[in-house]
Amino acid sequence: MQNEWDPRTTLAMARGTRRALHGARMVTVAGGEGHGVVVNGPSCAHGAVTRYLTTGRPPAADATCGGR
């Protein structure tokens, strides 16, 4: 989970981490601001987080969703 405009973990840093983790998936919140995708209030990433935490299955592919 990554906000597009995270001031602490930049989008470039998150993409690099994603490439380094074999089998990982990344959901980017386009226009999202701040360091906490889930804890900073509702975002389009909540559905993906909830599905992963309740089923253990990551999204089928990397995805970008609209802002908050």
Place of tokens 């840093």: 13
Provide CB contacts within 8 A for 67, sequence distance 6+: 29, 30, 31, 32, 43, 44
pLDDT at 6 over 70: yes
Determine the pLDDT at residue 5.
94
Tell me 2's DSSP state.
E
Determine the pLDDT at residue 36.
84
Predicted confidence (pLDDT) per residue in 11-66, tens digit = 999 999 999 999 999 999 999 899 888 876 667 888 888 999 999 999 999 999 98
Determine the pLDDT at residue 67.
64
